[in-house]
Structure 1
Amino acid sequence: MKRLRNPRTGICQGDVMVFAEFEEGGAMWTGSGKRERRKSVRFDGEFSSPPSVQVSVSLWDMDTTAAIRADLVAENVTSTGFDIVFRTWSDSRIARLRASWMAIGELPFEDDWDVE
């Protein structure tokens, strides 16, 4: 997992492989119906309170013979981490998915602000 943390700005970001199931024949690739994968992410440092977290797809490897159905969200956000959650349904087949994320939160100390 690649991460960058800048404690003076309250920003932490990274890129993580959520799953890769093509070679093992996992349910995301071979199954159908509702399916879900979760990946826990821990921040390098702790925020003062739960930050705002944005997630986006940085790599997807999907079969195109069926409709591509995907939902990617951040859940269970705390001051120390969160869960990346990927969901699909019906006959969509997903071989692998990598997600980028960025957390923006309160600075750890009030005097970190430079206000003129």
Structure 2
Amino acid sequence: MKRLRNPRTGVDQGDVGVFSDFEDGGEMWTGSGPRERRRAVQFSAAFARPPAVQVSVSLWDMDTSAAIRAELVAENITCEGFEVVFRTWADSRAARLRAAWMAIGELPHADDWDVD
């Protein structure tokens, strides 16, 4: 199998605090049922097309007296950025969360042009 390498592929990455609800009694820490937090992330430079984005937990501070239920995803991915989305439900309690992310995609080139 041959693999083609695109010399215009770029990588951007970072680490972003999604929430910290322990200190102020926020709903992720004190609530129950379905809860969601979103955090917008802007790439350092725009990609030519929406890139592939991977998110992972880099800080996880959860109460262990109940089951830990959580989902961490990237949504609304555009050439300029995306949203980190954390969801939990039932009686799970999350004090704070930080997410690491990496975007891999095609970079724009000076010779690119659109015909209308």
Q: TM-score range by the shorter chain?
A: 0.7 to 0.9
The residue aligned with 1:97 is: 97
Superposition deviation, residue 110 in structure 1: 8.1
Q: In structure 1, the residue corresponding to 2:14 is in which secondary structure?
A: strand
**Partner secondary structure for residue 10 of structure 1:** strand
Please list every run of 5 or more consecutive structure 2 residues that lacks an aligned counterpart in the other structure. Answer: 1-7, 112-116
2:10 & 2:69 partners in 1: Cα distance? 33
SS at match of 2:106: coil
- Could you say what secondary structure the match of 2:67 adopts? coil
Identity, in percent, stands at 72
2:46 and 2:107 in contact (8 A); partners too: no
After superposing on structure 2, the runs of 4+ consecutive aligned residues of structure 1 that deviate more than 3 Å are none
Equivalent residue pairs, number = 104
Superposition TM-score, scaled by structure 1 size? 0.86
1:31-70 pair list within 5 angstroms = 31-70=31-70
User: Between Structure 1 and Structure 2, whose CA radius of gyration is higher?
Assistant: 2
TM superposition shift of 1:46: 0.5
Matches within 5 A, 1:18-29: 18-29=18-29
TM-score w.r.t. length of structure 2: 0.86
* 1:55-89 deviation line (CA, Å, top 9, x unaligned): 00000100000000000000000000000000000
